[in-house]
Amino acid sequence: MKIKILIFLLSLNASISYADINDDEIQTIEDLTDQVLATKNLAKLEPQIKAQIQKAQPNVQKLLKAKDIEYNDSVYLHNYAILTSGYAEYLLEQHCTTLSQPFQELTEQAYFALKKRDPKDTIAINNLGLFYAQMSVYYRKNIDPTPRLNYLLKAEQLFETLMKLQPDNEEYEKNYYAVLSDKLMLLQKYHRDQNEQKRLINILKKTLFHYLSDPNQAFDAGNFIILAQQYFKYLNQEDPKLAEKWLRDNQAKIEAVVNKNRKQTQREKEFLAEFYALLGQTVRALSYLKQLEFSDENNTEPSSFENEPNLANLRLNPEYQKWFKQYKQDYAAYRKAIPKVCKINQLETTQDTLQ
């Protein structure tokens, strides 16, 4: 889930200074925010970001304590929150979870102040929701899913608020459904809260059925495949025969989406492997498993394949056994190569930045 709406902040230009924040300070933080939003790797900007966050502390503390925040001050605070959230995310990417936490808290403080100033500030609400959703991604490898679920719950509540404020906003709706889908994925994976799973399915299936009613309409093919996977898993828990019937009844529509010229994500390939395994099409199922690649964002534990009932038809197949043996070896080598220790110089700690 990528932060997209933040770019709208760039249109919030300040003209008059308040709370002792002069025009140069406002322009400086806006310029750095532009750079942060325009780059995928913050390593080169790290010194500037840290210096700006530190320099901003006196102004920010005044704004957090103020009874009222003027518009231009809110612009300053919006840009500050983008810097702290971006840096918090960067630290997590560097496996510096402990150092990231204070910057996550600074981000929350800034957005809470903006929400207090204007409970209908959709930019602040949306950005904070996206921030929580993005933070949840970095806890995807936790054995305990609770931290990630907590972030997703916070994001869900914020996007629900946005849907009430602007029910026709397609971007907010898309973000809302993405968060619900991630939450459902975790609950299904860890076999938690069947009632909540049912509630989420009842919300998400409306979109799935809308897709199925007209496969020729414009829609996100990736989301369609994921929704199909989640709905099938839900049906499979309730009634395996009904689930298999639903899958066969909708086989042509699902394949029509799959056959479009597009690159599938790892998550989609895993579903398609299960899809074709259930349909008895072993060769096609194996072809999707063999396409799986390792990356920091996408890699599945071998135990997930061992415990996946939808792949039961493949387990005695020599080709599957050969693939799985190699996958386990490659997975172990990949995980071993990932740096697990924070590499940030300890002289450049969080406290140094905030003092």
Q: Which 3-state string (H, E, C) describes 226-262?
A: HHHHHHHHHHHHHCHHHHHHHHHHCHHHHHHHHCCCC
Range of the domain at 30: 1-191
Split into its structural domains, the chain has a count of 1
Whether pLDDT at 307 is above 70: yes
6-78-105 Cα angle (round to 5): 100
Token readout for 64 is: 């957090």
Is the residue at 101 inside a domain?
yes
Is the residue at 114 inside a domain?
yes
Q: What is the DSSP string of 85-96?
A: HHHHHHHHHTT-
| pLDDT digits 0-9 by tens, 117-160 | 999 999 999 999 999 999 998 887 777 889 999 999 999 999 99
Is the residue at 109 inside a domain?
yes
| pLDDT digits 0-9 by tens, 214-268 | 766 666 666 788 888 889 989 988 898 999 899 889 988 888 877 775 677 887 8
Is the residue at 250 inside a domain?
no
Count Cβ atoms within 10 A of the Cβ of residue 1 and give its class: 0-12 exposed, 13-18 middle, 19 or more buried.
middle
341 Cβ partners below 8 Å, 6+ apart?
A: 95
Is the residue at 238 inside a domain?
no
| pLDDT digits 0-9 by tens, 35-69 | 999 888 888 999 999 999 999 999 999 999 988 88
CATH code at position 29 = 1.25.40.10
Is the residue at 320 inside a domain?
no
Q: Which of 18-27, 114-123, 181-190 has the lowest mean pLDDT?
A: 18-27
Is the residue at 335 inside a domain?
no
Is the residue at 13 inside a domain?
yes
Distance, CA of 238 to CA of 244 (rounded, Å): 12
